[in-house]
Chains A and B, each alone.
Chain A
Amino acid sequence: MNQQQDNTPLNHKPEQDEILRDAVDQEYKYGFVTDIDTAIIPKGLNEDVVRHISALKHEPEWLLDFRLKAFAHWKTLRQPTWGHVHLPEIDYQDISYFAAPKQKKQGEIDPELVETFDKLGIPLQERKALSGMAVDAIVDSVSVRTTYSERLAELGVIFCPISEAVRDYPDLVRKYLGKVVPPTDNFYAALNSAVFSDGSFVYIPKGVRCPMELSSYFRINAAQTGQFERTLIIADDDAYVSYLEGCTAPMRDENQLHAAIVEIFVEDRAEVKYSTVQNWYPGDKDGRGGIYNLVTKRGLCRGDHSKLSWTQVETGSAITWKYPSCILRGDHSVAEFYSVALTRNRQEADTGTKMIHLGRNTRSTIVSKGISAGHSQNSYRGLVRIAPQATGCRNYTQCDSLLLSDTSGAHTFPVIEVGNDSSVVEHEATTSKINEEQIFYCNQRGISTEDAVGLIVNGYAKEVMAKLPMEFAVEAQKLLSVSLEGSIG
């Protein structure tokens, strides 16, 4: 070991500690509750509840069957425990599975709700939308407003709540629903398939480049409920779409469950870009409250030369457990996964991706950046599997962890399986703390330690931030700043 290194003091500068402490103590700014009339069904989960949800949404028989089968399967499963998180045994009977803000009149939104979304910076009125982003706003279990639907419809793009899609395009939904994430996939997928409420449905027809960013905004408002959204995105041959997802929840002492499913189909030469800025309530400093974010996201690159890109910025949730995955079935298809996960206080995140190469000459890239502060635990868990018939494949994985406190943890659990000799897989991971030499260098040039920490963290996450659509990149950067650096911009 390097002698010189040993002589340097173990404690870093107190000033730096303070900044980090400030950062860690930042309050959650979306923690307000909106006082709106909400219709909630009683707590508990049984077959009648599943039937009741289905009836509330006037669903066809086949969908009820789908739900009931999923529910029957769910009853045979046990809550998984393999994640590197301390997820308590959840009482699934103590949750209400459907909550909907009451509409004043048909088609009209509660002004309180409009105000809520204004506070969150999400325009529900089309004229206010500057960025030309179509929004599907979902509160608790229902979609309250989808903007620009008509304009998109002119191009043949379908962008609507999934409950509407079940009514208006049943064949399309039936063809794709549950085909990438079958109801039997895992515990939470089965639960979601049984009780899912709303979510977005996107269909981009052949050859259409969606002219605006599509986005859905999820908000949990009601207490003692869970949100089980379901999103289905289909990009037909040569289509392109960029889809964004954002989420917030009020501050509460209790833990709320969010178990979503996202399914994506990418056909020949089509491209889907899916970006998430996840900012669910992370709980307070001592780890009280917060959302359990247990999500199954998976995309299928079905066509040749198709491309799917996942970008995620994870700053919220008490416990995050999610692995946006890609199945590369089409030859020459491409998948990307870019992730920044920031955990602080008592947050725990176990996130990563799965890249399953089935087609020939498929390529995937994984860039994961973890930042842990406070007493948090941050894990990357990933799988790269190259099937024997998938020749000429390429994967590059890089996962870096930055530790901002000596009480936090950073972990890496990658799994790599290669079944042939013409594929190349590379994996690299590093774990380190903020480089004191870099801070010193900045200090020398008149940059305060506070700014230096900000610069370094932003620089560290830049590779991922650059992949986000412009509007979101700004939000994500801001989020990272508030979450982490206090006054640092």
Chain B
Amino acid sequence: MNALQQYIDLYREHSGLLERHAPAVLNALRPSALATLTSARLPRKGEEDYEATDLEAVFAPDYGVNLTRLDYPIDPAESLRCDVPNLSTCLLHTFNDVPHIGHLARRNLNGPIVETFTEAAHNHPDVLAAHLGRLSHKGDATAALNTLLAQDGLLVYMPAGVTAAKPIQLLNILSAARPTMAVRRLLVVAEADSHVRLLACDHTQGSGVQSLNLQVVEMVLGPRATVDYYDLEESNADTRRVSTIFAEQHDGSELLIDGITLTNGLTRNNYHIEVEGERASTQLLGMTIASGSQHVDTRSFVRHSAPRCSSNQMFKYVLSDQAVGAFAGKVLIEEGCPRVEAYQGNRNLCASPEAKMYTKPQLEIYTDDVKASHGTTIGQLDQEAMFYMRTRGIPEHEARRLLMQAFMADVIDSVRFDVLRDRLHHLVEKRFDGTLASCAGCAICK
């Protein structure tokens, strides 16, 4: 069975309807995506780079796609409480895959331009035309499927020299009465010397309905631009997420991506970073806390095709119960790119006998004057440290929690603004002592 076929059929049957609600610039990308998909198939578990995840099975259920752009009755107030205390942000919502930009957010923006693709097609057609779909065509079948079915998305456009005073927060809420596939798309264009911080959080309201979040993010960083992208996933066991982040970096740009998964069902995060400019730097961080039957799979690919750029990756997993973690990373340094520094780290804690970890850190290097290394460990909590704490009267579960928190600390500490960092420390603490999921109304409540 080819799970892709049902979506191809869906598109062929309803392409008129689908394209009616989408801007022309998005529709123009569909034929080539369709061509890619007709000859593609989804990887099965055990195939190269899919050691732990069966994408065929992920896409196999008959998910509904919101072709007619029906507004689901979602109460944003339920998730509005999910703000970070003491942090003022420009809050944007995406309900399933329909983006909403409130008046308040528009007023707060002051510099950065945030528009839906439909709006941007009128206001900034050149930006969309120049960048939309340009990076995502390098992706796999899931990215092509997103291109085929996406109807709208968000553009974050930072004109040259603009600094966003406030972080832009993207609140993605998934809520559906029947199995639904949300096809989300985000395009970030940061022109020369612009600076922006983005916070994205994924939530699922309600439970018992399986839904799939198919997301594509494209980021283009001009010379000396900086983009911080914090991606927090707090969904439920019925949510599956397949996300691909593409980024292209030019001279001297700085990119930080921090992917945090606290609760989820099944997640596959792909990172595809093209470092094309000299002295560009990339930080790719990931933190996963998984228990129950959570499944988190990360694939990162960083290509250095310019001299003197650097990348640093660190992905940390704490797995308990029957959780499954996977990491496949590749750093490619092309010929004629001296003075590149690349590091790739993957540290994992298996905290239960049934937890499984698959890891595959790879280096592919074609230039001699570089520093490239990777390190991987899979292990348990340090028994001596546990013993030390217990001799000092700290109960076992407390000692375990402290050690796990300490294990995650360096990923959290690399978050570049204080308020969020404190908040994350707090969330991780709550996640470890099990009180995070106990609050019914909102997952992130204070």
Q: Mark A400-440, 1 if CB is under 8 A from B, else 0.
A: 01011111111111111111111111111111110000000
How many angstroms from the CA of A426 to the CA of B374 in the assembled complex? 11
For chain B, residues 344 to 403, give those with C-beta under 8 angstroms from any C-beta of chain A.
348, 350-380
Rounded to whole Å, the gap between the CB of B242 and the closest CB of chain A is 22
Main secondary structure of the interface of B (DSSP, over half): strand
In the complex, chain A residues whose CB is within 8 Å of the CB of B376: 414, 416, 425-428
How many angstroms from the CA of A422 to the CA of B350 in the assembled complex? 8
In the complex, chain A residues whose CB is within 8 Å of the CB of B441: none
For chain B, residues 332 to 346, give those with C-beta under 8 angstroms from any C-beta of chain A.
335-336, 338-339, 341
Q: Assuming A1-B341, A431-B363, is B374 touching A412 (CB within 8 A)?
A: yes
In the complex, chain B residues whose CB is within 8 Å of the CB of A416: 357-360, 376, 378
Whether B353 lies near A421 (C-beta < 8 A) is: yes
* Choice from B339, B360, B366, B380 contacting A10 with Cβ under 8 Å: B339
Whether A417 lies near B380 (C-beta < 8 A) is: no
Centre residue among B279, B368, B369, B379 by max chain A CB count within 10 A: B368
Give the size of the chain B interface in residues (CB under 8 angstroms): 43
Whether A424 lies near B374 (C-beta < 8 A) is: no
Q: Assuming A1-B341, A406-B338, is B373 touching A415 (CB within 8 A)?
A: no
Is B13 part of the contact surface with A, judged by Cβ < 8 Å?
Answer: no
Whether B354 lies near A426 (C-beta < 8 A) is: no
Whether A5 lies near B373 (C-beta < 8 A) is: no
For chain B, residues 273 to 311, give those with C-beta under 8 angstroms from any C-beta of chain A.
279, 281, 308, 310
Rounded to whole Å, the gap between the CB of B379 and the closest CB of chain A is 4
In the complex, chain A residues whose CB is within 8 Å of the CB of B361: 412, 414, 427, 429
In the complex, chain B residues whose CB is within 8 Å of the CB of A62: none
For chain A, residues 380 to 408, give those with C-beta under 8 angstroms from any C-beta of chain B.
388, 391, 401, 403-408
Is A6 part of the contact surface with B, judged by Cβ < 8 Å?
Answer: yes
Give the size of the chain A interface in residues (CB under 8 angstroms): 41
For chain A, residues 219 to 233, give those with C-beta under 8 angstroms from any C-beta of chain B.
none
How many angstroms from the CA of A428 to the CA of B346 in the assembled complex? 10
Is B51 part of the contact surface with A, judged by Cβ < 8 Å?
Answer: yes
In the complex, chain A residues whose CB is within 8 Å of the CB of B9: none
Is B48 part of the contact surface with A, judged by Cβ < 8 Å?
Answer: yes
How many angstroms from the CA of A6 to the CA of B308 in the assembled complex? 8
Centre residue among A1, A12, A412 by max chain B CB count within 10 A: A412
Rounded to whole Å, the gap between the CB of A480 and the closest CB of chain B is 19
Find the A residue at minimum CB distance from B359: A416
Whether A417 lies near B357 (C-beta < 8 A) is: yes
Whether A425 lies near B379 (C-beta < 8 A) is: yes
* Choice from B51, B338, B353 contacting A417 with Cβ under 8 Å: B51
In the complex, chain B residues whose CB is within 8 Å of the CB of A82: 48
Q: Mark B131-167, 1 if CB is under 8 A from A, else 0.
A: 0000000000000000000000000000000000000
Centre residue among B308, B310, B369 by max chain A CB count within 10 A: B369
Find the B residue at minimum CB distance from A409: B366
How many angstroms from the CA of A428 to the CA of B379 in the assembled complex? 14
Whether B363 lies near A410 (C-beta < 8 A) is: yes
Whether B364 lies near A409 (C-beta < 8 A) is: yes
How many angstroms from the CA of A6 to the CA of B279 in the assembled complex? 10
Whether B362 lies near A424 (C-beta < 8 A) is: no
Whether B377 lies near A425 (C-beta < 8 A) is: yes
In the complex, chain B residues whose CB is within 8 Å of the CB of A421: 350-353, 355, 380
Whether A412 lies near B362 (C-beta < 8 A) is: yes
Whether B368 lies near A413 (C-beta < 8 A) is: no
Rounded to whole Å, the gap between the CB of A466 and the closest CB of chain B is 23
In the complex, chain B residues whose CB is within 8 Å of the CB of A1: 279, 281, 308, 310, 339, 341
How many angstroms from the CA of A7 to the CA of B354 in the assembled complex? 52
Whether A433 lies near B369 (C-beta < 8 A) is: yes
Whether A425 lies near B378 (C-beta < 8 A) is: yes
Find the A residue at minimum CB distance from B334: A409
Whether B362 lies near A411 (C-beta < 8 A) is: yes
Q: List 24 A-B contacts (CB under 8 A).
A: A1-B308, A12-B369, A82-B48, A388-B353, A406-B336, A408-B366, A408-B368, A409-B366, A411-B363, A414-B360, A414-B362, A415-B51, A418-B348, A418-B378, A423-B350, A423-B379, A424-B377, A425-B379, A426-B375, A426-B377, A428-B376, A429-B361, A431-B365, A433-B369
A contact set with B: CB distance below 8 Å: 1, 5-6, 10, 12, 82, 84, 388, 391, 401, 403-433
In the complex, the 7 A-B pairs of residues with the closest C-beta atoms, listed nearest first = A403-B368, A427-B376, A430-B373, A421-B350, A431-B372, A433-B368, A424-B379
Q: A6-B339, A426-B375, A427-B377 are known; give 19 further A-B pairs, CB within 8 A.
A: A1-B310, A10-B338, A408-B368, A409-B364, A410-B363, A412-B361, A412-B364, A416-B357, A418-B357, A424-B377, A424-B379, A425-B379, A426-B376, A426-B379, A427-B361, A427-B374, A428-B373, A428-B376, A433-B369
